[in-house]
Structure 1
């Protein structure tokens, strides 16, 4: 108990914020990253598969669907996250009932990460040897079976690395989300660090973000190597 109090006192004395506030910020960042990552991964995979199978060389050629999907992805990806976040505030309010807060940040984060992951996933799937697809079709596999049993498993290692890259991008986006009071490490650095000229706290938040990134990259590389060996 005394040890816990000492640690909290250290944070308060050296960084100017309670240790509980730091823990809450870390929890909020993890919540925003992993919830938006899960939703964004599902949406991104659907978009990527649509792009791959409907492109001019795809197994379900459809120039209209491909052009519309490709254009939407390009438009959303061309908007900087901070502008996107502010622009869709009415949509955020309609979906979650508020424009500010950790849960409200999930909406722009998902809209930001889904097309970003979709493009990464698309490139990963396009790397699959076309001979595998032809072999699957020659065995009478349906379009769904080609996608589910051949395309995605063959691209698994590259897809994992794509998710890793997307996760790291999301960590940066959650830091920017602090500008609208989304909470998390970014909000902590902005409110208690930048506005109060608290350099030790800003340095501490940078270190925390670096640690997050290193851990995620290491885990992603490990599982990507395992997937490629299997």
Structure 2
């Protein structure tokens, strides 16, 4: 074990750091985009607080198209756009845009689902009292659905971890890149198994934390 860490420890730690950077940055930006999109889907849908069929149809169609694309296909599909915006298509920087485009629509749909589970009677009561739509969204919809939103964020983060592993196949760095370059191409099974174990542990930590936070919010 000590011999393994002497040889591969720095490589594995660097890969873990790159994976965490990709996941955290992409998730943060996806939250900024995805949660407002999810809210917009709910309020613009037929029967919503501010129904707009045209806007809802456009958003719904775009999100469905983006969600239907496997990440590895999306990665190659938007290479010119990635190069234009990020200045590179390799490394951590080169994969952030595809990760965001992959995650934000998925998160928006999860947020939409959580918001739609809020009791419509409560919303109608607030509307009858003349409460503004902004206040209803902030103090009723988002508050009542926060447990579900956290669960959605947990699912999205786990999906991001898997996506970063796939991104390693095209030189994005991270644990996926280490598993492919060293574990597979150089036939180092110990490196392969180590990265797999780290990814599993990472997913378990995220899932456990997400469940704990969501339960505490449901009780409050």
Compute the TM-score of the two structures, normalised by the length of structure 2: 0.97
- Which of 44-53 and 194-203 deviates more? 194-203
The corresponding residue for 1:148 is: 138
**What secondary structure is seen at the aligned counterpart in 2 of 1:98?**
coil
State the Cα deviation string for residues 63-118 of structure 1 (Å, max 9, x = none). 00000000000000111100100111111111111110111111000000000111
Decide which of 182, 187, 191 is 2:181's aligned counterpart. Answer: 191
The corresponding residue for 1:79 is: 69
1:37 aligns with 2:27: yes
Q: Distance in 2 between matches of 1:35 and 1:121?
A: 19
Decide which of 54, 60, 65 is 2:55's aligned counterpart. Answer: 65
Contact 2:12 2:195 (C-alpha < 8 Å) held by counterparts: no
- Which of 215-224 and 87-96 deviates more? 87-96
Q: Distance in 1 between matches of 2:4 and 2:38?
A: 48
Q: How many residue pairs were aligned?
A: 220
**What secondary structure is seen at the aligned counterpart in 2 of 1:18?**
helix
Cα distance, 1:199 vs structure 2: 1.6
1:50 aligns with 2:73: no
Cα distance, 1:137 vs structure 2: 1.0
Cα distance, 1:200 vs structure 2: 1.7
Moved over 6 A (4+): none
Cα distance, 1:10 vs structure 2: 3.1
Decide which of 194, 206, 209 is 2:196's aligned counterpart. Answer: 206
Cα distance, 1:61 vs structure 2: 0.8
Alpha-carbon RMSD across the aligned residues, in angstroms, is 1.1
- Which of 96-105 and 24-33 deviates more? 96-105
Contact 2:168 2:176 (C-alpha < 8 Å) held by counterparts: yes
Decide which of 97, 101, 109 is 1:111's aligned counterpart. Answer: 101
**What secondary structure is seen at the aligned counterpart in 2 of 1:197?**
coil
Decide which of 170, 195, 206 is 1:216's aligned counterpart. Answer: 206
Contact 2:165 2:176 (C-alpha < 8 Å) held by counterparts: yes
Q: Distance in 1 between matches of 2:121 and 2:142?
A: 15
1:10 aligns with 2:4: yes
Residue segments in structure 2 that go unaligned for 5+ positions in a row = none
Q: Distance in 1 between matches of 2:209 and 2:125?
A: 33
The corresponding residue for 1:3 is: none
